[in-house]
A and B are shown apart, each in its own frame.
Chain A
Amino acid sequence: MTARASSIGRRSLLRNVLRWVIFVVVGGYLLIPLVAMLEFSTRETPTAMAWKRTALGWKGIADNPSVMSAIVLSLELAALTVVVMLFLLAPTMVWVHLRVPKMRRVIEFISLLPLTIPAIVIVVGLAPVYSRLMPVIGQSPLVLTFIYVVLVLPYAYRSIDASLRSIDIETLAQAARGLGASWLQVFLRIVVPSIRAGLLSAAVLSIALVLGEFTISSLLVYDTLQVIVNQVGQDNAQVAVAVSLAALLFGFVLLFIVSTVGAGRRRAARATAIEAGLEEGDLYE
């Protein structure tokens, strides 16, 4: 009996150790580059390791007007991309799910297509279109929005599609219609709140993608964040690394907010249900 208990104890200890080893290895793999970026961006002497730290690299972000304008431009592009993407994709996908489900495969194919086309090909293909459009829509770098909307389609499509599939949207829409709702009311009052997590996730992915995009804006000679980071990096690597790290952290914060919003709702629902004496199975029967 004692030998068996000690064997179980050993196995449990081994499992715990293994868990920690995996946790440390994966955590290190993800965190070490970030820590290294932080370390490099705060070095007093960029060419040598030292204990002394400085915030000059980070202050350089604010001091460098091209960095600041690139940040503002990228944020504007991200916001515009999200708005245009949601405005185009969400109603289309909902309509296809509800009214023309046969077209679902076609829409999926079109939406996923940008994944298979290299950025350089997109630029080569779109450059003549842009050259003709420029006189009409002007030289503003915000025209990049149109390409970015195409670029984020596959990721946004996946997020929204997963959300739509997780609810019985057809029955919900029929129930709402039967209760007197117009199609617009069905979309705004029933569907959008029901797929909020998917829309939010699509928005975050789009923002992250736009903030990190380099190839297209560089080839079309627009000074977005990554293009400027690249340029600044040639003069002052510490500022470039600080900007990159800031952009990464901004993305993490966004992701954290999305996951917290979703998890918070689920936790609250479960807590109230348990308080009400419902079994887990009852909730999802």
Chain B
Amino acid sequence: MTPETDTAKGAARADGSGVGVQLVGLRRSFGPTRALDELSIDIAPGEFVAFLGPSGCGKTTALRIIAGLDDADSGEVLVGGKDIRRLPANRRDMGMVFQAYSLFPNMTARDNVAFGLRMRKVRKRARRQKAEEVLGLVGLAGYADRYPSQMSGGQQQRVALARALAIEPRVLLLDEPLSALDAKVRGELRDEIRRIHLEIGTTTVFVTHDQEEALTLADRVAVINYGRLQQIGPPTEIYERPRTEFVADFIGLTNRLPGVAKDGTVAVLDTRVPLLEGSVESGEVTVLVRPEAMHVTPRDDGNGRIAMVSFRGSICMLRVRLVTDALVLVQMPSAEATQFSAGDPVQASVRSVPVLAVAPGDRPGSRAADVESDPSLSPDAADAVG
């Protein structure tokens, strides 16, 4: 995962034709479960915003409320400055792509794409022309006469995207559209979505639980947990300057180290580093440090030993067992890491980058190290570091 710069992504909005979307204090409960709890998000015209969070955090509920497929208990949904809560779904002019394959099985790709135009009483020739144009946009120019059962999952999702785009929606809503696809197709379609957004500039809301998708696609990422907005900002900010423990833990890998905070800084592993906004500012704390913010140097009387070196191409991940028995993960360029091997005594320290300090929790050690030791969790998380 390499978060792109916000400036580069901001260019996408230059020719944007979308409208702004504001969610104001949205609340939604399902029985005793509160899916949305005063959720407020402001999306600029033409912006690509990803709602990111774990399963059940309320991100899909928020998207469905925007689409008109669900009603909020309270709060407002403003599109282009107008409250649309009373508008039924079929009059909201929003294009939506679902997680499940949702092509109409009785229609060809062309008819699927033209369906929204047909509902708008567009003439047959214009419908056909537009459908073929949009199918070309998603790279399926030759597939117009195929039925959904004659297409692969990736092709079906492309047609679903074309169908949503054909009506030139005010807002494009994407509800985990890539999660049912295999890794290769997912990567391809992700790039397509990005390219198409750059090309047409429609305001887009993308719901996902996959941080890699969110960080690589979106202009801004809204991290949601338990129906509440944890943080919203450009991917680099979310990654480098998390404001809550949840965001720091959920995005990428994090070492959890004990420290003492004082005067806007924290002493951790014999280093004093500045604190991020939202940190606990005094007393004993748990410091959340990214693997790439860690550093090791060879030292016989150091504070730990290398437990394992994992080669990852241009970078290496080093697991260091500290004298306190905690395990930390350190990321460094492979060229530098070649001098280390398992058992080497080292001095682990933290680079002078701002870190988040939270109240001491009951989770000693490192989430990064936990993830590393659990192969079933490692691929995505490891990518997230890379």
Contact = CB atoms under 8 A, between A and B. Distances in A.
Interface in B92-142: 92-96, 98, 100-102, 104-106, 115-116, 119-120
Given A177-B89, A272-B150, A283-B150, A172 B120 contact: no
B146 A180 contact: no
How many interface residues does chain A have, given as a range? 20 to 34
Contacts of B68: 177-178
Interface in A147-173: 167-168, 171-172
B153 interface: yes
Q: Most chain-A Cβ atoms within 10 A of its Cβ — which of B93, B100, B182?
A: B100
Given A190-B104, A272-B150, A283-B150, A181 B90 contact: yes
Interface string A67-106: 0000000000000000000000000000000000000000
A127 interface: no
B69 A174 contact: yes
A179 B167 contact: yes
A28 to B, nearest CB: 38
B90 A285 contact: no
A177 B104 CA distance: 12
A174 B89 contact: yes
Contact of A181 (B100, B119, B152): B119
Interface residues of B, number: 36
Contacts of A283: 149-152
A9 B91 CA distance: 68
Interface class of chain A by DSSP: helix
A268 B283 CA distance: 72
B147 interface: yes
Given A172-B104, A178-B67, A179-B116, A269 B150 contact: yes
Interface string B44-79: 000000000000000000000001110000000000
B228 interface: no
Contacts of B89: 174, 177-178
Interface in A185-209: 185, 189-190, 193-194, 196
13 contacts: A175-B98, A175-B102, A177-B68, A178-B68, A178-B92, A180-B120, A181-B90, A193-B106, A194-B105, A272-B146, A278-B152, A283-B150, A285-B153
Interface of B: 67-69, 88-96, 98, 100-102, 104-106, 115-116, 119-120, 146-147, 149-153, 160, 163-164, 167, 180, 182
